[in-house]
Structure 1
Amino acid sequence: MTTTPTPDGAPVRVVVVDDHAMFRSGVRAELTSVGAGQVEVVAEAADVDEAVAAVATHEPEVVLLDVHLPGGGGVEVMRRSPGTPARFLALSVSDAAEDVIGTIRGGARGYVTKTITGPELVAAIRRVSEGDAVFSPRLAGFVLDAFAGSIDVAAVDEDLDRLTEREREVMRLIARGYAYKEVAKELFISIKTVETHMSSVLRKLQLSSRHELTRWANDRRLL
């Protein structure tokens, strides 16, 4: 894939893709504030179909892409955008190995987590637009380990295929020690919904407690 470089001094045109409207608004506001003159948000999208249409219509240099989206996820956006000159930078709450590796294999040029600061995100967007690969520090190790063969991605994927995307998000947060209330706040869902997803996760993985879930996730390097 080739990309026409952004002229020196011109802002990088960005499409923000995330299924949470509040998060998209926050990213737009942050980029407008700290990235004035460096980046320009030209469109937003909430699901795969909207994202594919926005990329085709607005021809951005960079697509800031959530990993888990209604309609197939971030990888599906990249798959359905063949030939686009845009480069894709994943911005996700997930820092699990299989998400990082799968997204990079799907065509992303970088992967950063939602703990990133505004100035760091602006810098990452600029670097990706120039052709660099950008990762949050911990995530770069996952990519190196995967291509060195020390992470059995196929085995991890087989286990996780039993879970929906939302169940995976709940699973990771619970396994890291988050309380149900904290998970609900992080994912913009109700505590009751968290409890329902947690019950489903334990049933599908044949586990009996959150302590077993933590050990299960740790053994698979999902934390």
Structure 2
Amino acid sequence: MSGAVRVVVVDDHAMFRAGVRAELAAYGSAGPMIVEVVAEAADVEEAVCAVAEHGPDVVLLDVHLPGGGGVEVMRRAAREGTRYLALSVSDAAEDVIGTIRGGARGYVTKTITGAELVDAIGRVADGDAVFSPRLAGFVLDAFAGVGQAAPSGIDEDLDLLTEREREVMRLIARGYAYKEVARELFISIKTVETHMSSVLRKLQLSSRHELTRWASDRRLL
């Protein structure tokens, strides 16, 4: 795509949105393709309004959002000419597959560099499908019908958890300390503790070691 690619950045963390805007300004401000952030949104309602008002080429969309999540944004803000690229801390198979089935053209994780993100936005704007390398296998297996991964709705236990609880659960199950989870998700340690207590109660587990086993059995790590 020649000229400017108009982007809406959707994420519920203001600091992260500011960081993405800065990266896109640094790496997407020159050359044959210019990336222009035309709006930001922090939840589903704001995102739907921003897409309707600005008609962006690409929506850079977090998977877990207040008000229903990224899939809800795509459902309510479907618009010809606007494509969705998921940018998430989660690399879990059910998030990737559910988001792609919801209408996203690509899915990359928040470990991506600024230059890589600009390239991914440009490719999605041109109609390509873009995935972080290890995530592509989830999608290929799922749509070929041979993989074990499934959208979150298939697992009744997982459906008991909110989107934020799922994020906390995965990081804790991977061995992150509470303070590391707090830093990763831009929330307080006390909030992490509250979510962790809720996760253990809903899943009827008694410790993080049991949680790790539970998550591993379901291939969520």
* Coarse TM-score class (shorter-chain normalised): over 0.9
User: Which residues in structure 2 correspond to 1:17-96 (within 5 Å)?
Assistant: 17-37=10-30, 38-96=34-92
Could you report, residue by residue, the CA deviation over 1:120-172 in whole angstroms, capped at 9, with x for unpaired residues?
00000000000100000111111122222322526753221100111111001
User: Which residues in structure 2 correspond to 1:116-131 (within 5 Å)?
Assistant: 116-131=112-127
User: Is contact 1:56-1:84 (8 Å) kept?
Assistant: no
Query: 1:196 — aligned with what?
Result: 194
1:200 match: secondary structure: helix
Match of 1:170 among 163, 168, 171: 168
Give the AA of the match of 1:25.
A
Out of 203-212 and 60-69, give the one that drifted further: 203-212
User: Is contact 1:17-1:45 (8 Å) kept?
Assistant: yes
| Residues matched between the structures, number | 216
- CA separation in 2, counterparts of 1:111 and 1:206? 32
List runs of 5+ in structure 2 lacking aligned partners: none
1:201 match: secondary structure: helix
Query: TM (normalized to structure 2)?
Result: 0.94
List runs of 5+ in structure 1 lacking aligned partners: 1-5
Query: 2:178 — aligned with what?
Result: 180
1:83 is displaced (CA, Å) by 3.2
Out of 116-125 and 157-166, give the one that drifted further: 157-166
Query: 1:3 — aligned with what?
Result: none
Give the AA of the match of 1:150.
G
Query: 2:133 — aligned with what?
Result: 137
User: Is contact 1:176-1:214 (8 Å) kept?
Assistant: yes
Identical aligned residues as a percent = 81
CA RMSD, Structure 1 to Structure 2 (Å)? 1.3
1:177 match: secondary structure: coil
| Deviation >4 Å, runs of 4+ | none
